[in-house]
Amino acid sequence: MSTTSKTDTNNDAGRLPVTLPAIAECKRRGEAIVMATAYDFPSGQIVDAAGADIVLVGDSGAEVVLGYDSTVAVSVEEMLMLTAATRRGVRSALLVADLPFGSYEASDEQAIRTAQRFVKEARADAVKLEGGGPASVSRIRAIVAAGIPVMGHVGLTPQTSTALGGRRAQGRTAQRALELAGEALAVQDANAFAIVFEAIPAAIAGEITRLLEIPVIGIGAGVSTDGQVLVLHDMLGIYPGRAPRFAKQYAELRSAMVGAVSEFADEVRTRRFPTAEHTFSIDPKELAAFREGLAGLER
């Protein structure tokens, strides 16, 4: 995306804020949209500085940051805290927050109230919610009508993966692929500004992407979608053996982090840390006076 000024291409200081029209323009121009997750101040800063167009505070944070065994456990309060912290680190990218399971399904009114909290309390630019059935579509329409931009999410929807038969690819039969196309079109008709396709065969995702006017951000959906998203912790290799097949690992930070803390532990135990460079000194006269005073305190 061409929102970077000529004078500053390597950090975020000169980047213009990414807007919804700029995201729509990417699709028209055929420029790939980059989205990555972040969950706190430093990860928000890192993803923003790397030039991502969209930062998603995904409910994947339930698993990769909060240690739950699925995304359904995370509360609105927890997601608000993660989103507000990420906001403080993100200057240019569009900040999208996931509405957690149980916070929008009951009614359009509940969905609007929850979305408003993410905008008012955590300063998200937009929210994302899962599903392309009639209820989700109604929630999207209602939230957008209340003035909050919404990103949709179809295919593998982790919040309802039990009902989908587990975390498995969707749209692998003609019938299910046609259902997905119908859901994506309904999400678009409800005025979502973009949509995530998760774990959908590349050929199906590519054809539905061509059918849609709104940008499609893929994860496990092949190279023909309008953009790609990855979970930051999968990308950086922070977990041993956790990442799904479609997540590419670009670094191996877990071993680097364990190595650094082990080195610290070793230096502490062998009294090689701290050295003079990490230690405060005191004027020798002050030290002598202190010792004299201390001697007076000795019993």
User: Counting beta carbons within 10 angstroms of the beta carbon of residue 125, is it exposed (0 to 12), middle (13 to 18) or buried (19 or more)?
Assistant: buried
User: Which x/- pattern over 121-160 shows residues binding ligand KIV (rule: CB under 6 A)?
Assistant: --------------------------------x-------
Residue with tokens 């739950």: 68
**Residue 283 amino acid letter:** D
Determine if 37 is a binding residue for ligand KIV (CB under 6 A): yes
Torsion of CA 204, 34, 254, 66, to 10 degrees: -80
Smallest gap from residue 208 Cβ to ligand KIV (A): 16
Closer to ligand KIV by Cβ: residue 14 or 246: 246
Q: Is 59 in the site for ligand KIV (CB under 6 A)?
A: yes
Name the residue type at position 247: A
Angle between helices 174-189 and 202-211 (to 10 degrees): 30
Q: How far is CA 51 from CA 17, 104, 131, 146, 259, in A?
A: 11, 31, 28, 30, 28
Q: How far is the CB of 221 from ligand KIV (least distance, A)?
A: 10
The answer to whether residue 194 forms part of the interface with ligand KIV (CB under 6 A) is: no
215 to 254, contacts with ligand KIV by CB under 6 A?
219, 229, 231
Catalytic annotation, residues: 198
Question: What stretch of H or E contains 230?
Answer: strand 227-230
Q: Which is nearer to ligand KIV, 4 or 78 (CB)?
A: 78
Which residue of 58, 132, 155, 215 would you call a contact of ligand KIV, by CB under 6 A? 58
Window of 41-49, 58-66, 86-94, 277-285 that interacts with ligand KIV by CB under 6 A = 58-66
12 binds ligand KIV (CB under 6 A): no
CA-only gyration radius of the chain, Å? 24
Q: Counting contacts by CB under 6 A, is residue 196 touching ligand KIV? A: yes
Q: Does 98 bind ligand KIV (CB under 6 A)?
A: yes
Residue 194 to residue 181: CA distance in whole angstroms: 14
> By the criterion CB under 6 A, which residues form the site for ligand KIV?
37, 56, 58-60, 98, 153, 196, 219, 229, 231
